[in-house]
Structures are given as structure tokens and as C-alpha cells.
Amino acid sequence: MKKILIIVVSMFACGSLFSQGIEFKHGTFNEALAKAKKENKLLFMDCYTSWCGPCKYLSETIFSQKEVGDFFNKNFVSFKMDMEKGEGIELCKKYQVKSFPTLLFIDAKGSVVHKLVGGMPGEELIKGAQAALNPNLRIGTLREKFEGGNREYEFLLTYLTAVKRQYDKVNIPLVSKALIENYSLEKFLTKDLFYVISGANINYVSKEYRYLVQNKDVLINKVGAKECDAVLRKAIRTHLFQFAEECFSLTDLKKEIEKCKKDKVYLNIEDLERDLSYTYCFAHGQLKKWFDLKLQEAANLKGSPNYVYVMHNIGDEVVRNPKFKGSEESINRALKIGHELADNDDGVIMGNFLLAKLYLKVGNKEKAQKHYDLFIEINGEAGGNNTHPSVAKVKNAIDLL
């Protein structure tokens, strides 16, 4: 009898344990939306993919928390959807989901009233969801007020928090700059508010940048060296990459790099100079020089595990980058890389995958299929992931050729 009692108690304990967290409804999107409408609640939709790490983090670590579950189960009808399967494919297009995880709050009409993007702690998730429940804090309302000219300090901070939760790369700098322009740079030179300056994309040739450089020691004491350098480094890198696209020679580019070095900001200069050279080559149509520089970089890695990946990426750049359109010489050089990799035990998997993409690009379906099949066979035997979206994309494109 005692054993039976223990088992029964254990069952109730387990039931209680597994009932914690967000209760996601099964069925179709329309069924979930109808349920939300019937209960006069917003529909909370977790837009995820099978390969997304932050999606798994939310699902396994955050959504399962009692506090999160209590809040969401009380206020929302919750629904999960894989954006690459079934009706998720169309929903992904309809709601313009660009990154994962994306968390949508949808009203009874099927319109998104609020959105969060990315993995986050439970406390942050609840705060974002609370904003969805308050019409005055929803992203659309805040955007209308901002576009209508509202520049009140507390409002701008609230709006900045909202766009940051969405990883909105367009509006984060706009709102951050509005704060600086209306309330001065000095106001945000504190550890708690420095995120405003970090989000403003400070221009290298601006008075704000000069002020930060000239007061760097004071700034480091207030916010830390890492945070300070990150802002200055971003300004320098943005300036140099733009300069690389517009300058007339690599000599001019080198001079500009030397000028930027004088500000004594850590730039990882060797990698930066290399990447700037590549940008210069693309901007000025020097594809042969780009190829030569990339092959030289790869040659320095020969014998290391990274060699195969660097070589594959050279060829893959030819596949993806529209700058190479019409360049038969570049295609032939990339094909040579692919065959050299495929003929080597270490590179046979990546080599065949590259060749499949290259022959697909030139419209040779037979050879594209041949190398794709070889890739699938060998990669599968090696325990590789043949279901990754990048693999499926190549397969679908070959089928349509």
C-alpha cells in the first residue's frame, strides 16, 4: 500500500512538473486564432526552425519556466509553428519573418500588434509580452508617435527598448540618434545609458566621434574599455569599408588605414586590412586580384583543418556574389577548386557540394545532380547533416533546372 501511495504521489508530482511552462495549442493556425478570438486574447506564435539554436534555447529553457508559463497561459493562446514546414512556409511569407526565433503577438483579425526577436531570459520575455498587452506600448503605436514627432525623453527610451527587442537594425540607430540630438551625448556617458550611444552608429567624421576619442580615458572609467572600443571600432570599420569602395587605389586605402590607427582603437588590423582589400577588389571589378588574394590566404592554411572550408568558401563566393555574373574566368577557377577538393579525401564532401552548386549556376543539370548525389552519399556516411536548409535549397534548384 505504501509503495502504491508513493507511485501515485510521484505521478502527481510528475504531472505538476510537466504542466509548468507555456501550454502550446496543437492544430492549425486558424484553429489557434479562432480559440484566441473566442477567449478574447492575443495569439502568441513562436516562429521557429528545426536548426535554430536560440529557438531550442527558448523552447527547452525559457518556455518551460513556471513564471513564464503562468503569465503566458493567463494572457495568451500560445501556438508554435516551424516556418519551413507545412503551413509555416506561407505564414513565414505572410508575416515577413526574416530571423529566428521570431515571437509574434497577433490580434483576432490576424494582424501582428507586437513582435520580439531572438532568444532572451524569462524576465525579458515577460516584459516584452506585457508591452504586447498594452496598446500604448505596442510597436505600431510607438512607431506612429515617433514618426509624428514625439521626442520626449522617456518615450524615446521606451521606443528604443522596443526596437532593440525586435533587433530592428533600421530603427535602433534612428531612435538612438534622436536621443543624442535632443538630449546631448554627455547625458548617455554612463554605464546604464551607454547602450544609446552604442546603438547610434556614430559616424567616424562626426563631432560625436571626435569627442569620444578625445575623452577616451574618462569614458573607459565610466563604461569600460570593451564598451568604449566597440563603439569606436564600429565607426572606424564602417568608414574604412565605405572608403575602400570609393577610393582610387590600394595605396590611398592604406593611407586611410594608417590615419585611423592613430586613434589607438583595437582593430584586429591584419584581418581588417585583408577584408578591406577584398572589398576594394569587388568595388573596382578586380575579380582576378580578389581570387589571387584569396588563394594566397588559403595557401597559408594548407595542412590545417580550416583549409578545406576556406577553399570551399572561395568557390561559394563565386556562386553567391552577383559581382561574378558573366565572369567565365572566375567560374573556371572556382570549378578547379571544386575538383581539387573533391579529389582529396579531406575535401571530398565540401568539394562535391561546391561542384553541385557551381554546375547548377552554369545550368549543367547532369553534372550538378552527379556531384549533389556524391555529396549526399559521402556526407551521410560521415554522419553529416543532409537535411540542412542549404542542402535542400540546392536539391530544389537542381530539380527545377
Closest CA relative to residue 80, chosen from 109, 60, 98, 96 = 60
Q: How many CA atoms lie within 13 A of 300 on its CB side?
A: 5
In this structure, what C-alpha cell is assigned to residue 108? 483576432
Strand order from edge to edge, sheet including 76-82: 24-25, 76-82, 42-48, 102-106, 112-117
Residue 298 in grid coordinates: 588559403
d(CA 53, CA 262): 40
Contact between 179 and 160 under an 8 Å Cβ cutoff? The reply is yes
Identify whether 55 is a catalytic site residue: yes
Q: Which of 52, 228, 247, 260 is catalytic?
A: 52
Q: Find out whether 338 and 332 touch, Cβ atoms under 8 Å.
A: no
* Catalytic choice (14, 47, 55, 247): 55
Helix then strand count (H, E) for the chain reads 21, 5
Dig out the grid coordinates for 375 from the structure: 555529396
Using an 8 Å Cβ cutoff, are 46 and 58 in contact?
yes
Task: For residue 68, give the nearest of 116, 26, 34, 113 by alpha carbon.
Answer: 116
Separation between Cα atoms, residue 34 and residue 27, nearest integer Å: 11
- Residue 14 annotated among the catalytic residues of the structure: no
Burial, 136: exposed, middle or buried (Cβ in 10 Å; 0-12, 13-18, 19+)?
A: exposed
- Residues serving a catalytic function are 52, 55
